[in-house]
Amino acid sequence: MKVLSRQILKQLHFLLLCILTALCTNAFAGQVTVAVTNNFDYTAVELKTQFEAISGHTVNLIPGPSSAHYNRILQGEGFDIFLSDDSERPGILEANAHGTRFTYASAKLVLWSVDNRRLTPDLLTEKDFHLLAITNPRLSPFGKAAQEVLEKLDAWEGIQDKLVVGENIGHTYQLAISGDVDLALIAYSQIVYGMYMQAGSHWQIPDTYYTPMEHQGVLLTDNPAAQEFIQFMQSTRGQQIILGNGYLVP
């Protein structure tokens, strides 16, 4: 039998290390199920992609309205993490021993039009528009913030006949982009994607015009992979991704 050359032995050793590394990675890889609010789903996809690449874990994102996710959790749905668009529902879940909450972002509000036009507060006070879409203030922090902005401008009472109310922030955006309304008060994150800006025009509402829209999440299980995903969200890289998509971070 011929003695294997040193070079072949090195190649076999390297191949064995690769196989063992892959086996170990697969052995310890976990799965995370995340219920994510609609307005954060694009950002969550970017977080998921980078987290999976460095961790070996798999993240299953389930987008939808925060209110619907909240009800499913109360009914026993098996999510590991709930990323809500408010702090009220996570607070209730934590108070009732459903999990541990954390703050992951704060949203910003903009007045947006799919058309290229100059947007100013005077546009709202002078009612120089056809229809304005907002989210339902009773159901969404974005709707509540929109009402606060209009009240700040002394325009709330005078434009009731021009309001179109969306069921959630995603629906409100769809009303605007479809042309059903000419203006909408929506999340800044819905029109900015890293270095790319949605076509149209916008006015970023001063943050003194409305109550801060803090987004909180809840860790619902003791899944180690879920804990790692939250740690990644709160890391420098995770926060860069969140900032780049139009949010503020804690």
Place of tokens 């803090």: 214
Question: 3-state secondary structure string, 11-64?
Answer: HHHHHHHHHHHHHHHHHHCCEEEEEEEHHHHHHHHHHHHHHHHHHCCEEEEEEE
Give strand pairing partners of 63.
36
Query: Within 10 A of 171 (CB to CB), how many other CB atoms are there?
Result: 17
Distance CA 72, CA 76 (A): 6
In this prediction, the residues of the chain whose per-residue pLDDT falls under 50 are 1-4, 9-10, 12, 14-27
pLDDT at 7: 53
| Direct distance between the N- and C-terminal alpha carbons of the chain, in angstroms, rounded to an integer | 66
Is 163:134 a contact under the CB 8 Å cutoff? yes
pLDDT at 39: 86
**What global pTM score does this model have?**
0.80
Which residues lie below 8 Å from residue 242, measured CB to CB, with a gap of 6+? 43, 47, 104, 105, 233, 249
Give strand pairing partners of 183.
132
pLDDT at 12: 47
pLDDT at 239: 97
